[in-house]
Amino acid sequence: MSATDRLNTIKGHLSGNYPQGLLAGEVAIITGSGQGIGKSCAEVFAREGAFVVVTDIDASKSDQVAADINAAGGKAISIPGDVLDASFPERLVEETVKAFGKINHIVNNAGFTYDGMLHKISDKQWDVMLAVHNTAPFRIVRAAAKYLRKKDGQNKSIVNVSSTSGLHGNVGQANYATAKAGIVGLTKTIAKEWGMFGVRCNTVAFGWVDTRLTRAKEAGATIEVDGQKVALGIPTGNKSGARPNPFADIPLGRAGTADEVAGSVLTLCTPLTSYVTGHTLEVTGGRGI
């Protein structure tokens, strides 16, 4: 896509003359898209005309999101699997290309928390966080290299999901914070190495977004890791889940919703940000400014 084409795309969309969407005909892989922010990303990408690859460790959820997108008039397929499985990235990429013929966008969203105070974190807790937030995205991007590293003029981008924990650290999350800081370094390196092929790579660092990772730990949400249930959420110290106002230092005074923050991911993949790469976009409601 030439600079003129990109400008015309932007102008057309802003003037209401681009009914097929900003990502019409482009192919997007979104990991962890069976629920939460990933699901919202899959839905908004589809509404903007993208062919979406939904992938999640929970096959039933992955299949359902793809089915819902298709029922709504979009185009999606489900390729469920575990991003921690070393063989999965290659399968994910090759099945995507088999179905749609190309890849334009990768959103490395899959992840979870495995909290503990620094002096109590086990090697397993440490290793799993780096595996899911660093190694898995690396393997997926590497598997897609032969399709993305082409000077073909396509709109191509990678968005890696980080967190304000990775930018500022967080009590009880030494492992998660380290991993989320690491993905920023990977992002900048991809931007520098693949920019010559027209591939943009950016990071979104989310603050307090209403998902199972930020709701009260007492609610009982878990994820299974190697046959062991890992509790998700933030402990409140009581069964009712009541806690001091967690939004007191957020200028907007509330948590973000999955649907609204998905827009930040979408934006970084569209021609609207065609000259943005290597950037970390903080999506926090103003927290930390």
CA angle 181, 259, 269 (to 5 degrees): 60
Q: What is the 3-state secondary structure (H, E, C) of 260-271?
A: HHHHHHHHHHCH
pLDDT of residue 188: 98
CA distance 193 to 199: 9
CA distance readout (Å), 255 to 4, 214, 243, 249, 288: 39, 9, 14, 11, 14
CA distance 144 to 176: 25
When the pLDDT of each residue in the chain is averaged and rounded to a whole number, the result is: 90
pLDDT of residue 150: 97
Which residues participate in catalysis according to the annotation? 176
Q: What percent of the chain has pLDDT above 70?
A: 83
Report residue 289's pLDDT band, with 50, 70 and 90 as the boundaries. confident
Asked if 217 and 202 count as a contact pair (C-beta separation under 8 A), the reply is no
**Each residue of 173-208: pLDDT tens digit?**
999 999 999 999 999 999 999 999 999 999 999 999
Length of the chain: 289
Q: What percent of the chain has pLDDT above 90?
A: 78
CATH topology of domain 3-16+23-283: Rossmann fold (3.40.50)
pLDDT of residue 214: 58
Please determine, for residue 12, whether its predicted confidence score (pLDDT) is greater than 70: no
**Each residue of 212-258: pLDDT tens digit?**
565 545 566 666 677 776 666 666 566 555 667 888 899 999 989 99
Domain boundaries, the chain: 3-16+23-283
Residues 6+ apart with CB under 8 A from 81: 55, 57, 88, 91, 92
Q: Where are the alpha helices (DSSP H) in the chain?
A: 3-14, 36-47, 59-71, 88-100, 123-130, 136-143, 145-148, 164-168, 174-194, 258-269
